[in-house]
Amino acid sequence: MEDRWLKAHWHGRRGKNALLSLVKIDPDYNDAYLGLGIYHYYSAVLPAIVRTLLLCHGEPR
């Protein structure tokens, strides 16, 4: 499962970089900002959710 999280992380970073390049080329392309906003939101929220789930699940045995 950790492998999938790592792959998702790298795909997300590549997508973010592509959107940043798009914004540099065409700053009026609003859809790129939506994608960047979603990326930043989940980058901020997901680690807290993962920590909470780990606390609820308990210590590994």
Q: Indicate whether 29 pLDDT > 50.
A: yes
For the purposes of burial, counting CB atoms within 10 Å of the CB of 16, is it exposed (0-12), middle (13-18) or buried (19 or more)? Answer: middle
Tokens of 58: 């308990």
* Contact (CB, 8 A) for 39 and 12: yes
Q: Indicate whether 21 pLDDT > 90.
A: yes
> What are the angstrom distances between the C-alpha of 25 and each of 8, 21, 32, 60?
26, 6, 11, 48
Q: What is the pLDDT of residues 44-53, one digit of tens each?
A: 887 777 767 6
What is the pLDDT confidence band of residue 61, given thresholds at 50, 70 and 90?
very low
* Contact (CB, 8 A) for 22 and 29: yes
What is the pLDDT confidence band of residue 35, given thresholds at 50, 70 and 90?
very high
Parent domain of 48 = 2-57
Q: How many structural domains is the chain composed of? A: 1
Tokens of 18: 């592509």
